[in-house]
Amino acid sequence: HPSPGAAADAEAWARLWAQSQLVLHVEGQVLTCSLSAPCDLLAELVPCWQPVPSMSCQPLPGLQQPAGGQGPQEFVGLWPHPNLCVQVWSGGQVRLTQCLRDPPGTFPGALPGRPDDLLLLEHEGNASLCAVEQGACTPLASFTSTGTGHPGLLEQDLQQDVAGGQCLELWHPLNSTGVVLWACPLQKYLRTHWALVWMGVLLGATCLLLLLLMKKEDMKGWLKSLRAGYASRGE
């Protein structure tokens, strides 16, 4: 059992964090954050990616920085995006989280990018791309955007989008080493996917209708031959 002193310390820390606040600011295309607390805290600011509020926030590699003082801190080279959040880590726990979905002073859609964008990680030096999802980075050769279908179906398209400037360069290290992060639109591929699904449904329905019509014509022919047979017997 924890000692009374340890429990009191934990309660004091909990009250301290309850009185603290993390605020994100977007000025132009510069992302800054301000951590206000009753006193200086030993903590780390960790940018992360969260496409859906109910999902866990995926920390972005190499972007964490110590929280220093009460003034605003800039994430140099990090481009604002609706899926970006910043977490405050201290003592191995997430103490505060603030996201950019509806930053103060902006309206929905003011930030570049869309909530359904795909986060890609590129290792500089070998130009390999992987999709960041659910705590892992899946190579594009194994990635499927809808959870079904053939893995790697979008690999070439996404590589062309990155090379052709169709993706937002979310993060590029100033020293040109490490990793580069890209936010790529998936909406056009999802539209194509559902269009193909509907085309398949319509094609199947058309084939079924033709089959029924053919059977109907066959039935008519069989009835005519049956009537003709009865008529010939009656004569």
| pLDDT tens-place string over residues 121-143 | 998 766 789 998 877 888 888 88
Residues 154 and 199 reside in one and the same domain:
no
Report yes or no: 44 and 65 within 8 Å, Cβ to Cβ. yes
Domain assignment present for residue 31? The answer is yes
Given this model, what pLDDT does residue 193 score? 45
Residues 72 and 86: their CA atoms lie apart, in Å, by 13
Residues 31 and 86 reside in one and the same domain:
yes
Structure tokens at 214: 């053919």
Among 7-16, 106-115, 179-188, which is the least confidently predicted range? 106-115
Instruction: Name the residue range of residue 81's domain.
Output: 4-99
For 111-143, b/e burial (b = at least 16 CB within 10 A) is bebbeebbbbbbeeeeeebbbbbeeebeebeeb
Domain assignment present for residue 17? The answer is yes
Report yes or no: 145 and 186 within 8 Å, Cβ to Cβ. yes
Number of domains in the chain: 3
| pLDDT tens-place string over residues 44-88 | 999 999 988 888 999 998 899 999 766 789 998 899 999 999 999
pLDDT band at 204 (very low <50, low <70, confident <90, very high): low
Closest to 131 measured CA to CA, from 73, 176, 91, 189: 189
| pLDDT tens-place string over residues 6-46 | 666 778 888 888 999 999 988 878 899 999 888 888 899 99
Residues 31 and 59 reside in one and the same domain:
yes
The CATH number that applies at residue 39 is 2.60.40
